[in-house]
A and B are shown apart, each in its own frame.
Chain A
Amino acid sequence: MSELTARPVPVSVSADEVREWLRDRVAAHTGRPVEEIRPDLPLTEYGLDSVYVLGLCAEIEDHYGIEVEPTVMWDNPALDPLAEALVPLITAH
């Protein structure tokens, strides 16, 4: 976990950057190669549903230094929309 907290908090980010970081985390959470994680498929495809996806939410909070409603993960079930939803929260911060 230390590699997560050590990273500097980005001042502004693009949806692309956020999405790539998320793909990386989903790969780590599910033990799959990052190439297998498609940003247009719902995370349930990778077994990350209901309460499990909330662990990813915690990492987003720590990495970007923001607080997000856990339901953002449910309202945006795939990484593409999730990245789009997170960008304004990160830049507002």
Chain B
Amino acid sequence: MTSAVPVSPARTAGVAGDHVHDKHISTLEELFGDAGDPVNPVGRAEIVAADERGEMLAAGEDLLTGFGLNAHFVPEALGGRFTGLEQLIGVMRAVYRRDPCLGLGYGAGSFMAGVNVWTAGTAAQQLRLADRLLAGDRAACAYHELAHGNDFSRTGLTALPGPDGRRRLNGRKEIVANLRRAGSMVLFARTNPAPGSRSHSQLLLDTDDLDPGSVRHLERFGTVGMRGVQLGGIEFTDCAVPPGSVLGGTAGLGVETALRSFQLTRIALPGMTVGLLDTALRTALRGARSRPLYGGTVTDLPLSRSILAEAFADLLLADTFTTVAARSVHTAPAQAGVYASAVKSFVPPVLMRAVYRLSELLGSQFYLRAAEQPLFQKLLRDVQPSAFGHASRVSCQSALLPQLPLTARRGWLAAEGAALPAETFRPGMPLPGVRFEDLALTGGGRDPLSRSLVAGAADAREDGGIAAQARFWCAELDALAAAASGLGPGAAGPAASPYAFGLTTRWAGVLAASACLNTWWHRPPGADAFADRPAGVLAALHRLGTHLDHHRDPLPGALAEPLYTELVRRFDAGLTFDLDCRPTGA
């Protein structure tokens, strides 16, 4: 359906892009072929059938092994292909477009384990995991215990020294992807019985090195969505830990390592999930166009076109925010924690709502088991864990909250610190490498993405819609600064009010707006016709206002029509709906 389409990606049009990375995604797309081909072993029909069986699609896993997906989780310096977060998201998004279970169940779990080791492991530990992953093995990232949910500092599993001085594991981990079949695991354990944030460590373990007599695997956990992902549990009883397992060699750094390293995954996961919305949108459009109604099709109805255009704008909003956050990890690593929490709290609900609204558009077609678009109900189920998995919305907001008063005083009112370098806003352009050692626990009150909003608004030469938006979001930043600096001392503590939590949502809103406006202001010359007109960014900002409850207005016709036209153009040409706008057979 797509291989013959000679369209070059918009993002690299006319400029020297990252060709190696482009080539990887194209290769992956070619391997997956045409999803609609009924005899394609990794096509839509097989993916739905595997989901019905609650299994990973074996042919899909083989394909990803052949492609060498694991190499994309391993830094280049360790022999892998990981050069940056945006590239990784691009590759994984191609997988999520086909099957989110393959994305999460084959790959993302290994990347989550990996970032811990790339951030805090010794050189030997990094080499060990890199070799394992490059050999095609999986790594499990075992943090979660049912008893403690998102509150991993209350972790119960212990790795305390036994009578002989050697550490022993006692306790259990639950609902962890690939626990049973992974050759390595990063295990989050309590290494000191005292409360506090210096009492935990990650252990890097080879499952072969553990005494089978002291390890018991729990029954697989069934789930509503992501049915193929093999979620396991494990129980240790006095299991001896091989020497050299504590990540980084020093016990007690576990909470710090988690908060620093998961900044990468909290940006990457929502970025990958944009691929799920891409396919949901394609599926809904296919269904709506083929459904005859009132003498036409569903897409002849203005309301339907508006819903489709809004879902497209939601996708552009989500992609722009995650892409800028991903690139800022390279250009402002010390603030990555703030942007990761903002992305992880804000983007998943946008994606979920969009998929839900598309399900309404499809009507019974998505609900009937034997309907035309059976993939859609799977996507609707698969999108749910993005909200609560790997740090829930509220836990990300609680990470932003204590930083809010200082950021208001230092970063917004006193205007301390620089704006982000321009290349942050030029997707596909080269960046410095990720410096894991520069990831920090707090942003130190500096907020360069907001500085970029203010600086960009002051420099902008245009008038009309974009200028009005720039003024609006600068005023919102001022109002937010006033509200945040008026917070009482207890407001950002454990007893924070819903009002204070709401301020973190407004903060994420300003950051998303800055990402959209600055990506527009920094657009490359010679971008394609759609990228060179403001309809896309204005529609994304309009939707941003809807998600923040600023208004409930539908997309105005002047924005909805060009978006719908572009949507159909890309659908017919077999192009993705994200900023990348690249050929896909999904």
Contact = CB atoms under 8 A, between A and B. Distances in A.
B487 interface: yes
B493 interface: yes
Contact of B487 (A1, A57, A77): A1
Given A42-B195, A44-B196, A58-B402, A71 B441 contact: yes
Interface residues of B, number: 31
Contacts of A61: 406, 445
B486 A70 contact: no
A77 B406 contact: no
A1 B403 CA distance: 14
Interface in A29-50: 29-31, 42, 44-45, 47-50
Interface in B326-354: none
B477 interface: no
B242 to A, nearest CB: 27
A30 B197 contact: no
B143 to A, nearest CB: 14
Nearest to B153: A50
Contacts of A48: 493-494
Contacts of B493: 29-30, 47-48, 52, 55
B495 A49 contact: no
B492 to A, nearest CB: 5
B153 A49 contact: yes
A75 B399 CA distance: 19
Given A47-B493, A51-B399, A62-B406, A74 B196 contact: yes
Interface residues of A, number: 30
B255 A74 contact: yes
Contacts of A59: 489
A91 B442 CA distance: 24
A1 B256 contact: no
Contacts of B547: none
Nearest to A5: B409
B243 to A, nearest CB: 25
A70 B196 contact: no
Contacts of B495: 30-31, 47
The interface centre, meaning the residue of B196, B399, B441, B485 with most chain A CB atoms within 10 A of its CB, is: B196
Nearest to A73: B197
The interface centre, meaning the residue of A30, A31, A51, A70 with most chain B CB atoms within 10 A of its CB, is: A51
B417 interface: no
A6 to B, nearest CB: 12
Given A55-B492, A62-B409, A70-B441, A49 B196 contact: yes
Q: Return the 3 tightest CB-CB contacts between A and B, nearest first.
A: A55-B402, A58-B406, A28-B489
25 contacts: A1-B405, A1-B489, A25-B489, A28-B488, A28-B490, A29-B489, A31-B490, A42-B195, A49-B153, A49-B195, A50-B197, A50-B255, A51-B402, A52-B492, A52-B494, A53-B197, A54-B441, A54-B442, A55-B401, A57-B442, A58-B403, A58-B445, A70-B442, A74-B197, A74-B255
